[in-house]
Amino acid sequence: MVMENKDKAMTGSSLPALISPKEFALCTIQVNQCRIVVPCDDSSFHESVYEYEFTRMPDGLTVDSDRIGTITQISGSFALADIKDREQFPTWRTHLGAHLCPKSELSVNYNRWHTEHDIKSILLEKYKKRTRKSSDTGNEYYPESESDIDVITINDRLWAHMALDDYRQLDVFMTELDENLVLQINFDASPCWYRDGFAPADVKAHLMTFFMEYLCHFKIIKAGSVPDEELPPLGFYPAAREEKDIDRDGHVVERDPDYSPAPDFSSW
């Protein structure tokens, strides 16, 4: 029964092997001066727009040319358990959201995120009012001190990590793209445990191994850091893509007799 499988995970007697993000589909977008490669499940919702240009306006808001506010580029849920363990652990799933967030929308100041202290002080200020409002509910959690925010370095980039919301079920990762923009990645893996309580420590630690590997496969390439011809092409590329050649503009190229395999996306 499903309940028995969840009990195994809750007691730590058995945890599933997890899927690898290196097998995911890829969504490649251009955001101001950054080329960003977002790993995601094939079935995830993704915006059909792949280029964004955000500008700070005189009123303090930062807007894209066609819209105002946060843009959800990727949204969807998928199984976390490896295929061989999926039948035994059917509830091991997570929701993933990848959001382009103007700092004006996040209600954070425009100070740069250069150091761990910068990041923690900026985010504590952001959540100060939310903390007061959530104190009546008893189950909602937001950062109250620097110890509630972890700052990690992945691929030479600083990411903030916080466990928020009911029973800390939402794992939020944030990184600064430029003086106006923040990239936010949300995971809600609460189906992996009973939702009316905190995740068991072993379950949370096991999930964190997936989150960390996912961020390692996330690519943020600053303009000028590589030649333009080496940038990954814009577009959405399903996981099963070995039979296609893609040009730098994201178009399928017909093979000729002198065909040689296209570069492996994992090299970007």
Mean pLDDT of the region 192-197: 81
Tell me which residue of 102, 115, 80, 39 sits closest to 210, measured CA to CA: 80
Tell me which residue of 19, 40, 51, 67 sits closest to 231, measured CA to CA: 51
pLDDT at 248 over 90: no
Q: Please write the tens of the pLDDT for every residue from 79-131.
A: 999 999 999 999 999 999 999 999 999 989 899 999 999 999 999 999 887 65
Q: Please write the tens of the pLDDT for every residue from 126-161.
A: 988 765 554 555 578 889 999 999 999 999 999 999
Q: Helix/strand/coil (H, E, C) string of 76-127?
A: EEEECECHHHCCCCCCCEEEEEEEEEEHHHHCCCCCCCCCHHHHHHHHHHHH
Paired sense of beta strands 25-31 and 51-52, if any = parallel
The H-assigned helical ranges of the chain are 2-11, 103-106, 116-134, 201-217
pLDDT at 191 over 90: yes
> Rounded to an integer, what is the distance from CA 120 to the centroid of its chain?
19
Q: What is the pLDDT at residue 131?
A: 57
Buried b (16+ CB within 10 A) or exposed e, 198-218: bbbeebbebbbebbebbbebb
The two tokens of residue 89 are: 């652990």
Q: What is the pLDDT at residue 168?
A: 84
The reported pTM is: 0.84
pLDDT at 63 over 90: no
Q: Pick the more confident residue, 266 or 169.
A: 169
Tell me which residue of 66, 61, 73, 69 sits closest to 34, measured CA to CA: 73
What distance separates the 2 farthest-apart alpha carbons in the chain?
69
Taking each continuous run of H as one helix and of E as one strand, the counts in the chain are: 4, 17
Q: What is the pLDDT at residue 14?
A: 86
Q: H/E element holding 44? A: none
pLDDT at 169 over 70: yes
pLDDT interval class at 62 (50, 70, 90): confident
